[in-house]
Amino acid sequence: MTNKIIQKLKTSDYPALKSGKAKNIEEFYNTLVAPMFQNREFLISWHKLLVEYISTQTPTFFIRKHGSAAKDKYHTLRRGFTSIDRNSIEYVFCDNTLCMTFVSMRLAGLCPSIEDFDFFIKSRNIQCGFGQVSEEKDFALYTPDSSFHPKLNTIGWYLAHILPAATSYDKINNFNVYADNHFPKGDQKDWSKKEKIRTLNQPLSIENITALKAHLFRLIHPFNSFLVPKKKLTNYNRGTLIGEEPNLIAYVFKKVKSLFPKEYAEFYNIAMGPGIPPSSLDYEVKDISWGTNVKQNAIQKSITKKPTPQIPLQNEHEETKTDPSEQSTIDILRKIGVEAFIYFYLPLKSNRTIPAKDLALYAPNHSNWTFNSKASRASKSKKLFNEDRVQEALELISKMNIAQHLIDMANRYLDDLVTTHEEEFEKINKEGSAAE
């Protein structure tokens, strides 16, 4: 059956992105997202399959970590690295590529039996990373060589998650921090070159397994993800990252929950859903367009090169001098305003040269700001981006005692950063991986 699954995956036709427009989120959902959830019985079958699978004696779990690194840190990559405890329960490190295989299975109409599903995973025919560099090949049990290679990204799609894979877990909150403590990266020498396995000295605890179940559900469960156009093929009134738009996430969450009330309650419990679920924010998302002919607004156009931070924008009087009192990230956040920085994230990620007066429009209370205040907040926000301190800033915000919707947005953007780093790493190493 495994060969049949691979054959079916390799021979199926997957829908390429077609150009389109939507006036608002409701129309966008009805046009692109709703069809992914229309086969109700099929998706319920997938839910039952995954619930049964994580209850088997020896499941394999996947952890989305250690999937990108600078060239001089390739030895820290762990894509396809497998660890096994005394009870033969496995966990495997991966990047976001793994999720695309399970989406492809559903698009191909595949919902295997529990036996075939377990055999498919244990046969190591799942691509756990975009590629592998030589530093990984000696130790990785899962390799891309014989795996199915998902192509959804190349035909225009981006995979959006409703509950973020990295954060917003009940009880443990930040899965990445939890994983560092309980599922450590370790050293390459911890893995046997012959068996390509790291044998754990202690069995995984009930708490460990509960967290692994939650993470797996967030990664591959059909209730937690949906396809949207890639950011470079998208434009709307607030930017290009429609897949990370909080209002769209909240809208899809409510729709999926209403479509599968009984099953979703079970999913949410296993996935360790937070006490406060995704919620919409007080602004309008409109004028959404997508496809190869999309013309992104000048304000929102993606920038591939970082601007030179020392050069101020004309007529904006933005600060360029270094103030020693502003060097800590927390101090800079206080001067920007946490809420302002959260709302600045999407437009700044799309365009770091956006003028201060335009950037200010994204903040709910911008009308109360003076010209100098807008310039100062913009300058300091760009400083965090240009100095690669955005992740630190978001992590700080996620731990603050502030409005829950701001914490939720910070967690979602942290999850987005993980995916972005993997995409950048894939792009940089595409030729190198093919050569190796």
pLDDT at position 281 over 70: yes
400 near 343, Cβ under 8 Å?
no
Query: Residue 224: what pLDDT?
Result: 97
Q: By CB neighbour count within 10 A (0-12 exposed, 13-18 middle, 19+ buried), where does 305 fall?
A: exposed
Lay out the sheet containing 286-290: strands in order across: 20-24, 286-290, 234-235
Q: 147-156, 390-399, 420-429: which has the minimum mean pLDDT? A: 420-429
Question: 91 - beta bridge partners?
Answer: 61, 83
Query: Residue 316: what pLDDT?
Result: 33
Q: 179-183, 211-215, 295-299: which has the minimum mean pLDDT? A: 295-299
pLDDT tens digits along 193-214: 899 999 999 999 999 999 999 9
- Count of CB atoms within 10 A of residue 18's CB? 12
Q: How far apart are CA 46 and CA 260, in angstroms?
A: 12
Query: Residue 178: what pLDDT?
Result: 94
Secondary structure, 3-state, the chain = CHHHHHHHHHHCCCCCCCCEEEEEHHHHHHHHHHHHHCCHHHHHHHHHHHHHHCCCCCCEEEEECCCCCCHHHHHHCCCCCEEECCCCCEEEEECCHHHHHHHHHHHCCCCCCHHHHHHHHHCCCCCCCCCCCHHHHCCCCCCCCCCCCCCCHHHCEEEEECCCCCCCECCCECHHHHHHHHCCCCCHHHCCCCCCCEECCCCCCHHHHHHHHHHHHHHHCHHHEEEEECHHHEEECCECCHHHCHHHHHHHHHHHHHHCHHHHHHHHHHCCCCCCCCCCCCCCCEEEEECCCCCCCCCCCCCCCCCCCCCCCCCCCCCCCCCHHHCCHHHHHHHHCHHHHHHHHHHHHHCCCCCHHHHHCCCCCHHHCCHHHHHHHHHHHHHHHHCCCHHHHHHHHHCCCCCHHHHHHHHHHHHHHHHHHHHHHHHHHHHHHHHC
Q: Could you tell me which residue, 188 or 281, shows the higher pLDDT? A: 188
pLDDT at position 282 over 70: yes
Q: Which of 87-96, 306-315, 331-340 has the highest mean pLDDT?
A: 87-96
pLDDT at position 309 over 80: no
Q: What is the mean pLDDT of the chain?
A: 85
List the domain boundaries for the chain: 2-13+37-226, 303-435
Radius of gyration of the chain measured on its C-alpha atoms? 22
- The stretch 281-300 carries a mean pLDDT of 75
Q: By CB neighbour count within 10 A (0-12 exposed, 13-18 middle, 19+ buried), where does 124 fall?
A: buried
- The stretch 147-168 carries a mean pLDDT of 90
pLDDT range class, residue 28, cuts 50, 70, 90: very high
pLDDT tens digits along 250-276: 999 999 999 999 999 999 999 999 887
259 near 320, Cβ under 8 Å?
no
- The stretch 279-294 carries a mean pLDDT of 86
Q: How far apart are CA 76 and CA 8, in angstroms?
A: 34
Which of left, alpha, beta for 149 (phi over 0: left; psi -120 to 50: alpha)?
Answer: beta
Query: Residue 421: what pLDDT?
Result: 54
pLDDT at position 319 over 60: no
Q: How far apart are CA 208 and CA 239, in angstroms?
A: 38
Query: Residue 425: what pLDDT?
Result: 53
286-290/234-235 β-pairing = antiparallel
- The token pair at 39 is 């086969």
- The stretch 224-251 carries a mean pLDDT of 91
Angle between helices 114-122 and 2-11 (to 10 degrees): 80
pLDDT range class, residue 318, cuts 50, 70, 90: very low
The answer for residues whose C-beta is within 8 angstroms of residue 393's C-beta and 6 or more apart is: 329, 332, 333, 341, 384
pLDDT range class, residue 415, cuts 50, 70, 90: confident
Query: Residue 307: what pLDDT?
Result: 38
pLDDT range class, residue 295, cuts 50, 70, 90: low
pLDDT range class, residue 388, cuts 50, 70, 90: confident
Q: How far apart are CA 219 and CA 169, in angstroms?
A: 13
Query: Residue 35: what pLDDT?
Result: 96
Q: Percent of the chain beyond pLDDT 90?
A: 50
Query: Residue 147: what pLDDT?
Result: 76
pLDDT at position 419 over 70: no
pLDDT range class, residue 53, cuts 50, 70, 90: very high
- Count of CB atoms within 10 A of residue 75's CB? 13
pLDDT tens digits along 345-369: 988 887 888 899 888 888 888 888 8
Please give the model's pTM, rounded to 2 decimal places. 0.78
pLDDT at position 283 over 90: no
